[in-house]
Homo-oligomer: A and B are copies of this chain.
Amino acid sequence: MAIKCETFSFEVQAQDGTARAGRIETAHGSIETPIFMPVGTQGTVKSLTPEDLRDEIEAQIILGNTYHLYLRPGLDVIKKHGGLHQFMNWNHPILTDSGGYQVFSLKDLRKIKEEGVLFQDHIGGAKHLFTPEKVIEIQETLGSDIMMAFDECPELPCTEDYMQKSMARTTRWAKRCLEARTRPDCALFGIIQGGTSEKLRKLHADELCKLPFDGFAIGGLSVGEAKDKMYETVEFTTPMMPDDKPKYLMGVGKPDDLIECIARGVDMFDCVLPSRNARNGQCFTHSGVVNIRNAEYAEDMAPIDPDCDCYTCKNYTRSYIRHLYKAKEILSARLCTLHNLHYFLTLVGQAREAIIEGRFEQFRLDYYAAKED
């Protein structure tokens, strides 16, 4: 008999159209949804401390990568610390991916079998086998508050035949993941695949949502498909998912995407975009993107975003941050990451408020209007 998570719960607090505001409870505290999760691939959200994340950005949950942490520092080190929370000194919720996405991205270096995936890692080239059981064992060692089931994310375009076979295997793996659980304080989400086909999504959702997962994710999007296809897929997939469980859209996205997918019923998001782009000097603002490396900002005395109250915008000019970027100073990455993540977290927080107050559609219109000013 499979174990059940005793620390996890979810309630929808308000609904406005299809958009939802909710609350997730985990072993490390609660999360108000809709939420964006900063990505901390290697046990750190690049350039930031847990205090920056909590106090300056008001992050509620962060994401860790199973594949990367398994390879480096490795499970022995994590185990010795008592888990990922203690290792990185973050005492709030953590979601970990299953490593599936990374392993399948290795292409020539991996071989898919029913048992799992045999692959060579990108660091030393050593051989490893990831099975559903192994991936749960790793995530339980990390002490993840929300674990993800091991799935295949087929590269698009792919034949309907391959997608069907892959989905069937992902379902079998999902069941094995559920069976493999031993910790009652680690929740487990299933992942629905099916590309951009409504028929295939329905097929997979019908199978997967019967299983006793604590939440469900839409996988296999934001992998190169057209934006309208992505929105359309989210729109027809969320109604296939149980309303009393969180709905998580993996790997998405830009600010517009958050707004559009919140409108379509998504509760949770993660993406490297705000932090990665910050390191390249691309900052998100209420009036659109500011590429801080551009010459036009050399003597610009305004903050990155005049409508932002983050640490960076309260204290520094565009001119100074551009200087840091041009001089390749680490502080540039730090200040821009702080700003971008603050922007993303503020955006989902404002969307949540609007949903609770029944004015989400107006909020969405105002959001686009501000960008066009």
Q: Which residues of A pack against B, CB within 8 Å?
A: 42-44, 46-49, 72-73, 76-77, 80-81, 87-89, 298-299, 301, 315-317, 319-320, 322-324, 326-327, 329-331, 333-334
Contacts and interface: CB of A to CB of B under 8 A. Distances in A.
Contacts of A81: 301, 317, 319-320
A76 B330 CA distance: 23
B76 A44 contact: no
A-B pairs with lowest CB-CB distance, top 3: A73-B323, A47-B330, A42-B327
Contacts of A322: 73
Given A80-B319, A89-B315, A331 B44 contact: yes
B77 A46 contact: no
A314 to B, nearest CB: 10
Given A46-B329, A73-B323, A330-B334, 11 more contacts: A42-B323, A43-B324, A43-B327, A44-B324, A47-B334, A72-B327, A77-B319, A77-B323, A80-B319, A87-B319, A334-B334
Contacts of A320: 43, 81, 87-89
Contacts of A48: 331
Nearest to A46: B330
Contacts of A301: 80-81
A330 B333 contact: yes
A54 to B, nearest CB: 13
Among the interface residues A323, A326, A334, which one has the most CB atoms of the partner chain B within 10 A?
A323
B331 A47 contact: yes
A316 B51 CA distance: 13
Nearest to A315: B89
Contacts of A334: 47, 49, 330, 334
A62 B269 CA distance: 42
B319 A73 contact: yes
A334 B301 CA distance: 27
Contacts of A315: 89
Contacts of A299: 76-77, 80
A49 B81 CA distance: 29
24 contacts: A42-B329, A43-B320, A43-B323, A43-B327, A44-B331, A46-B329, A46-B330, A47-B330, A47-B331, A47-B334, A48-B331, A49-B331, A73-B298, A73-B319, A73-B322, A73-B326, A76-B299, A77-B323, A80-B301, A80-B319, A81-B319, A89-B316, A330-B333, A330-B334
A334 to B, nearest CB: 7
A42 B298 CA distance: 15
Contacts of A323: 42-43, 72-73, 77, 87
A99 B89 CA distance: 42
Contacts of A317: 81, 87
A121 to B, nearest CB: 14
A299 B317 CA distance: 42
Contacts of A46: 329-331
A67 to B, nearest CB: 13
